[in-house]
Amino acid sequence: MTGIISPAIQAYCSGQSAEPGPLLKEVFDYTLNQMENSSMISGAEVGNFLQFTCRLLKAVKVLDIGTFSGYSALTMAEVIADDGEVHTCEMDLKHKNVAARFFAKSKYKTKISLHFGPARDTLKQFAADSFDLAFIDADKVSYPAYYELCLELVKIGGVIILDNMLWSGTVLNPVTPESAVLRKLGDKIRLDERVINFLLPLRDGLMVCQRLK
C-alpha cells in the first residue's frame, strides 16, 4: 500500500497517537519481517480508529472480514466488552495459522472466533442485526457483496468500516478491476439512504458508515 500522506507527517501523527501494546507490536514486526504481502496489515493508525469506534459504540459483537495475521481482530478484542465476541474470517490457510498462533498468546483469546473459509459463506451463518461493528478488509472485488451482507448483519446504529477505499489514490482514475469496484461502491454508498457515511483519508482510506435503517 502506497501512503497518501508524506512519511514525515505520518511519523508525526504516529508519535502523537496511542501506541499499540506488546502483542500488537509483535504481530506487526512478525508480519513485516516474515510474511509475503506484509503491507496488507492494517497497523496502528487503523487499529486506533477501530478501538476508538468500538469504545464509543460500547461494542459487544464485532465482525472482521479478512484476518491476515490477526492485527485488526486482536485490536478489537482488546477493547470490546468482557463477554464480547470478535468473529474474524480468513480463507488462506497460512494466514489462518499465523493468526491462530497470535490469538493463542492474547489474554483476550476467548473473545475471538476464527472462521476458516470464504468470507461470503461464513457471513451467511450469522444472525441479522447482531453486530455492533463490521470491518471489511478482504478481497476488494467482493466489497459490494460484503457491504450488502454487513447491512443485514449490523444493527441499526451500528458501524461498517471499509478499508482501502482510496486504493492508493487510483479510485480517482480507476483502471484495474479493484479500483473500478471500489470507486463504484464509494459512489453507491454516498447515495445510499440506509447509511450516513464519510470517507476518511486515513492510511489507504477508511469509508465509515453508520446504519440508519
Least distance in angstroms from the C-beta of 22 to ligand SAM: 17
Least distance in angstroms from the C-beta of 212 to ligand SAM: 26
Least distance in angstroms from the C-beta of 99 to ligand SAM: 8
Q: Which is nearer to ligand SAM, 165 or 190 (CB)?
A: 165
Tell me how far apart the alpha carbons of residues 92 and 83 are, in angstroms, rounded to a whole number: 28
Report the SS3 class of residue 16.
coil
82: DSSP letter = T
Cβ–Cβ < 8 Å for 124, 173: no
Tell me how far apart the alpha carbons of residues 146 and 126 are, in angstroms, rounded to a whole number: 13
Q: Which is nearer to ligand SAM, 21 or 157 (CB)?
A: 21
Q: Which is nearer to ligand SAM, 139 or 152 (CB)?
A: 139
Q: How far is CA 118 from CA 77, 133, 179, 204, in A?
A: 22, 20, 21, 24
Looking at residue 45, its amino acid is E
Name the residues that contact ligand SAM, by CB under 6 A. Answer: 40-42, 66-68, 71-72, 89-92, 95, 118-119, 137-139, 142
Least distance in angstroms from the C-beta of 169 to ligand SAM: 17
Q: Which is nearer to ligand SAM, 49 or 71 (CB)?
A: 71
